[in-house]
Amino acid sequence: MKAYISIVSAVSRACGVLAVLLVAIAALVVCQMVFIRYFLNGSTVWQTEFVVYSLVAATFIGSPFVLLERGHVNVDLLPNMMAEPARSIMNGIAGLFGLAFAALLAWSGWIYFEEAWTYGWTTDTVWAPPLWIPLLPLPFGIGVMCLQYIAEILRPFADGNPGAATL
């Protein structure tokens, strides 16, 4: 169980680095686009879509890392007021609902991706990249987040301290 948690956490951290790079690249491409459009009076073909899809990808791929860092904001007022074991039970239930949604989203995202892949859909712009490329981060990132969620639910048991769960 400990090995599972540390492997999944390492994957989530790697996802975090990838997502950070996507944000940084998106910021630079916005500047490049502004420069071409307003200073050289040129036209931009791929930049708008590239920036939008990079940031969407960063959101999905960064999501497991943000879960690991407890960055998905919640209202922990009531669980924190509870004594054990009520608090752990509450955290566990909250974790299961979060996992359930993540699993549904990953699954539904996978179906959307698969359709785009099978039918060779492209986006409806001049650039027209294959749609599966921007869609892939959804099932991938949220899929990893499901694994991370399982790790977070297991973590208190692995530490031998179920009371320490704070999902």
Partner 1 sequence: MTPLVIGLIVLAALLALLAIGTPIAFALGFVSIAALMIVEGTGTLSILGETFFGGLASFGLVSIPMFILMGAAVASSPAGKDLYLALDRWLNRVPGGLVLSNLGACSIFAALSGSSPATCAAIGKMGIPEMTQRGYPKEIAAGSIAAGGTLGILIPPSVTMIVYGIATETSIGRLFLAGILPGFMLTMLFMAWSLYACGRRGIGLSSVTERFTMAQRFEVLPKVLPFLAIIVGILWVLYGGVATPSEAAGVGAVFCIVLVMVIYRLWKAGPLWRVLRDTLKESVMIMMIIGASELFSFTLSSLFITQSIAAWIGDLEVNRWVLMGVINLFLLFAGFFLPPVAVILMTAPILLPIITQAGFDPYWFAVVLTINMEIGLITPPVGLNLYVINGIAPDISLWQVLRGSLPYVLCMVLGILLLCVFPEIATWLPGFMMG
Residues found near partner 1 in the complex (CB under 8 A):
16, 19-20, 23-24, 26-28, 30-31, 33-34, 38, 48, 51-53, 55-56, 58-59, 62-63, 65-66, 69, 71-79, 90-91, 93-94, 97-98, 100-102, 104-105, 107-113, 134-135, 138-139, 167
Q: Which amino acid is at 126?
A: V
For residue 83, give the DSSP letter. P
CA-to-CA separations, 146 to 30, 43, 102, 110, in angstroms, rounded: 32, 41, 6, 13
Shortest approach of partner 1 to residue 144 CB, angstroms? 13
Residue pair 62/69 in contact by the 8 Å Cβ criterion: no
Nearer to partner 1, 8 or 16 (CB): 16
Shortest approach of partner 1 to residue 126 CB, angstroms? 15
Nearer to partner 1, 52 or 164 (CB): 52
Residue pair 122/115 in contact by the 8 Å Cβ criterion: no
Nearer to partner 1, 112 or 117 (CB): 112
Q: Is 147 left (phi over 0), alpha (psi -120 to 50) or beta?
A: alpha
Nearer to partner 1, 73 or 126 (CB): 73
Q: Which two tokens stand for residue 52?
A: 């939008």
